[in-house]
Amino acid sequence: MSKSIKRGILGISMVLPSFLVLVLIVVIPIISSLRESLKNENGGYDLSNYAYLFTDKLMRSNIIFTLEITIVSSILVLLISYSLAVYMRFNNGFAVRWIRRTYMIPIFIPSVIATYGLIQLLGNHGWMARILYHLGTDSFPRIIFDMKGIILANLWFNIPFTTMLLGSALSGVPDAVIESAKDVGAGRLRIFFRLILPLTFKTLLVALTFVFMGVIGSFTAPFLIGPNAPQMLGVSMEQIFSVFQDRQLAAATAFFTFLLCSFVGYFYIRSMIKEESVRSS
């Protein structure tokens, strides 16, 4: 056996375990839920469940609602996290020290507790409403049982990790590059858009993928503080599956969510592959 074949076998045998795990817990469930979702009431196969997904008024509004929340949350999370990370990277002092010490706290608070905390804080008779009432404001906007509440909860859950991710990417930007740009007279904005942003763009994409997938599949916060209708897809899926016990429709919803996620995943993987090929050529 030649050396290269041996090396090839070794390579395959090292990849095999993770490949098998992937097949067992990702690929097979996806295929089986695709099959389940194509079943109609008479036991045959057709697209009736998907047709229902896009023609039923309620389901359609659920999908739009989910996309709205996901897109708004992703943009807000990325904006806030990126500015936080940039601020922490290029500044020093009291404020930065305290942000650095505290921004990870939300990660360690269980989501159910955090959600109930938000209800206590922002609910109709919550602390915020009471404080504002004493300051003379009578009307308090509806945050809990509304889209705003879900978005706020998503910010709480996603900002720490995203900031951490972006922070580490930013610390990879060498000071020397920035200083030399400054030396040749580049302005602050120019440095940001021509150097920092391109150098961290890939991590930004990774962060976007994480936030997008985390939000679109979220359940606890939307279940507890979302409105009764429209619902986010996760909540709706749970209801269809365990209350209406319509497994096929639940599978169709799940598969559709998977498609949405893989759409984002596609861009992420494409940019990764591009990077690799640039490097190897």
Partner 1 sequence: MLNKKSAFAFVTSFVLAASLLSGCGSSKDSGTSSAAEGTDTSSKQVEFSFYYSGSQNVDDLWKNLIPMFEEKNPDIKVKAVYVPSGTGAQPTYDRILAAKQSGKGSGDIDLFEDGLGVVTKGQKDDLWDNLSTDHIPNLNNVDQNTLNDVSNLAIPYRSSAVVLAYNSETVKDVPKTLDDVYEWIRSHPERFAYNDPSTGGAGSSFVTTSIYNFLPEDAIHNTDPSIESQWDQGFSLLKDLGKYMYGKGIYPKKNQGTLDLLTSGEVDMIPAWSDMVLDQLDKGQLPETTKITQITPGFNGGPTYLMVPKLSEKKDAVYKFLDFVLSPEAQNVVVDKMHGFPGIKLTNMSQEVQDSFKGASEGFRSFNIGDLDKDINKRWQSEVAAQ
Give me the residues that bind partner 1 (CB under 8 A), please: 32, 35-36, 39, 56-58, 61, 123-125, 142, 145, 223-224, 227-230, 239, 242-245, 247
Nearest residue (CB) to partner 1, 68 versus 204 = 68
Residue 245 Cβ vs partner 1, minimum distance, rounded to whole Å: 6
Nearest residue (CB) to partner 1, 152 versus 191 = 152
Residue 58 Cβ vs partner 1, minimum distance, rounded to whole Å: 5
Residue 123 Cβ vs partner 1, minimum distance, rounded to whole Å: 8
Say if CB 249 and CB 116 are below 8 A apart. Answer: no
Task: Count other C-beta atoms under 10 Å from residue 168's C-beta.
Answer: 12
Residue 112: both structure tokens together: 């159910």
Long-range contacts formed by 26-34: CB under 8 A, 24+ apart: 30/255, 30/258, 33/251, 33/254, 33/255, 34/251, 34/255
Nearest residue (CB) to partner 1, 15 versus 28 = 28
Nearest residue (CB) to partner 1, 85 versus 250 = 250
Say if CB 71 and CB 153 are below 8 A apart. Answer: no
Interior angle at CA 118, CA 112 and CA 123, nearest 5: 125
Residue 159 Cβ vs partner 1, minimum distance, rounded to whole Å: 26
Burial class (CB in 10 A: 0-12, 13-18, 19+), 23: exposed
Residue 56 Cβ vs partner 1, minimum distance, rounded to whole Å: 8
Residue 106 Cβ vs partner 1, minimum distance, rounded to whole Å: 23
Tell me, letter by letter, the H, E, C secondary structure of 188-244. Answer: HHHHHHHHHHHHHHHHHHHHHHHHHHHHHCCCHHHHHHCCCCCCCHHHHHHHHHHHC
Nearest residue (CB) to partner 1, 46 versus 275 = 46
Nearest residue (CB) to partner 1, 80 versus 238 = 238
